[in-house]
Structure 1
Amino acid sequence: MKNQKVALITGAGQGIGLEIARSLLETGSHVILNDLEQGLTEEAVASLSGAGKGSVFGCAGDSASEEVISEMVEMAMRHFGHIDQVVANAGITLFGNFLDYSREDFFEVVRINQAGTFFLTQAAARIMKRQPDGGSILLTSSVTAHQSHENLAAYAMSKAAVEMLAKNLVLELAPFGIRINTVAPGATMTERTTSDPNYIGTWSKLTPLGRPASTTDIAAAAVFLLSDGARHITGQTLVVDGGWTSISPSPYA
């Protein structure tokens, strides 16, 4: 079984996380995916069954919960005996003007985006450090960690923290053969963004390459960073935004 990698992915019921799961299955990895909603988790597993060379299992629940993180790790070890790839993709975006932003919303963003990412990484690394081949961890950030975006102060702060986590953990994880990187998507067509009829038009004008990203664009970058092809890359952030951060025009302008 060790010849096939085993991946844990949070926030994978739809959108970018689901497409990363699909891509990893196609490369031969087994996948244990998580989403907050039981229904979305079950739908994702059903849609991915038979999609690749690997098998897929679902684990629904709050990705920042100690119990859910432990359940995902236990599921991987019970079925396969190792964990090779982790994608801490789950996150929450709560828009709000800085001067009016509530403590409740702030701490929820921090809990899910920062604490959930931190403790999933910790749990997986404790397994990976005992493995001869270590492992590869990928955190999901955002272009808002690099450029200002109105009404996203708390979210942007949380994503910048995620990038610094990856950079900082190089010191502690590299000795065990564990790589950790971050992917920072820009405007991307997902179930959430397609509900805005102006989204694709607005971001096609603002993006130098002429369109927002697809989920497959982000997944391709994610799979590369997780793969052996990136075996000498760690502590880095790959921005996938069609060039937006190079010029950074605001959608509110």
Structure 2
Amino acid sequence: MDFKHKTAIVTGAGSGIGFEMCRQLAHHGATVFLNDVDAALCREAAGKISAEYGHCFPVPGDSGHEGFVNELVKAAVEQTGRLDIAIANAGITLFGEFLSYPAESLFRVLQLNIGGTFFLAQAAARQMIGQGSGGALLFTSSVTGHQAHKNLAAYSMTKAALEMLAKNLVAEVSGFGIRVNTVAPGATLTERTTTEPDYEAVWSRITPMGRPASVQDIAHAALFLVSDQARHITGQSLVVDGGWTATSPSPY
């Protein structure tokens, strides 16, 4: 996959899946604008990728806010003159029982997971339409948008919503050459999940392929969806879960 002369934005990319998406994009020639709400982590992550491949710039800030998202797109375009790929990867998981789930937690999840994705897609699409050269939008969904998972009612709801947003935008932006898809990771080994006791052992046992995903597994799927090889794929969700949603055994 060749991303030379292409500009990409990835939100929530200071670590984990988002970081690997940025790393792979840069490896294949893209100029990448890496966003994370943690300013120090954002700069450190971009620095690592720049040292390895070059062309990765940190843009710290909260991608759950429309004003910042607009500035993020503006920053990318000011430096490179264009925007070709926008990946809305930022999201927050706040576990809690449905019957006692607090309003504050619900609105935080909605603002970032849905609001941040919606407004990044909107700002990116406007820029792509202005360029007249099309582009690719990608949202990070989850297997929990397909299968019920205890204590994740709010999070799961937002992930299912992102997949519907991608489908709906097909009717809005296809005429401008813009594709919109989602990637839905299953259990994945990241800096966060590897700190959970028995995470890898449990998900290795209940995943048909015998292990949870690596961040590379998810990033490779994401890069395909935003690449020219997927130029006739839009409005789709690609589940990357080692077969878990086919059988769906509970980790509890």
In the alignment, the residues of structure 2 paired with residue 238 and residue 231 of structure 1 have an alpha-carbon distance, to the nearest angstrom, of 15
The aligned amino acid for 2:132 is: P
Q: Deviations over 1:84-119 (max 9, x none)?
A: 001000000000000010111111100000000000
Given that residues 170 and 179 in structure 2 are in contact (C-alpha distance below 8 angstroms), is that contact kept between their aligned partners in structure 1? yes
Please give the root-mean-square deviation of Cα atoms over the aligned residues, in Å.
1.1
2:8 is aligned to 7
In the alignment, the residues of structure 2 paired with residue 65 and residue 171 of structure 1 have an alpha-carbon distance, to the nearest angstrom, of 25
In the alignment, the residues of structure 1 paired with residue 4 and residue 19 of structure 2 have an alpha-carbon distance, to the nearest angstrom, of 23
1:86 is aligned to 86
> Following superposition of structure 1 onto structure 2, how do residues 41-120 of structure 1 map, counting pairs within 5 Å?
41-52=42-53, 55-120=55-120
Q: How far off its partner does 1:224 sit?
A: 0.2
With 34-43 and 2-11 compared, the bigger mean Cα shift is at 2-11
Number of corresponding residues: 250
In the alignment, the residues of structure 1 paired with residue 130 and residue 67 of structure 2 have an alpha-carbon distance, to the nearest angstrom, of 22
In the alignment, the residues of structure 2 paired with residue 171 and residue 66 of structure 1 have an alpha-carbon distance, to the nearest angstrom, of 23
2:221 paired with 1:221: yes
Gap regions ≥5 residues in structure 2: none
Q: How far off its partner does 1:130 sit?
A: 2.0
In the alignment, the residues of structure 1 paired with residue 143 and residue 164 of structure 2 have an alpha-carbon distance, to the nearest angstrom, of 14
With 117-126 and 65-74 compared, the bigger mean Cα shift is at 65-74
Given that residues 98 and 153 in structure 1 are in contact (C-alpha distance below 8 angstroms), is that contact kept between their aligned partners in structure 2? yes
Given that residues 8 and 86 in structure 1 are in contact (C-alpha distance below 8 angstroms), is that contact kept between their aligned partners in structure 2? yes
Identity of aligned residues (%): 58
Given that residues 65 and 115 in structure 2 are in contact (C-alpha distance below 8 angstroms), is that contact kept between their aligned partners in structure 1? no
Q: How far off its partner does 1:133 sit?
A: 2.2
The aligned amino acid for 1:7 is: A
1:121 is aligned to 121
1:34 is aligned to 35
Q: How far off its partner does 1:50 sit?
A: 3.5
In the alignment, the residues of structure 1 paired with residue 133 and residue 52 of structure 2 have an alpha-carbon distance, to the nearest angstrom, of 26
With 72-81 and 208-217 compared, the bigger mean Cα shift is at 72-81
Determine helix, strand or coil for the equivalent of 2:52: coil
Given that residues 59 and 68 in structure 1 are in contact (C-alpha distance below 8 angstroms), is that contact kept between their aligned partners in structure 2? no
**TM-score of the superposed pair, with normalisation by structure 2:** 0.97
Determine helix, strand or coil for the equivalent of 1:129: helix
In the alignment, the residues of structure 2 paired with residue 50 and residue 104 of structure 1 have an alpha-carbon distance, to the nearest angstrom, of 40
Determine helix, strand or coil for the equivalent of 1:91: coil
In the alignment, the residues of structure 1 paired with residue 141 and residue 96 of structure 2 have an alpha-carbon distance, to the nearest angstrom, of 19
**TM-score of the superposed pair, with normalisation by structure 1:** 0.97
Q: How far off its partner does 1:197 sit?
A: 2.6
In the alignment, the residues of structure 2 paired with residue 148 and residue 67 of structure 1 have an alpha-carbon distance, to the nearest angstrom, of 33
Determine helix, strand or coil for the equivalent of 2:138: strand
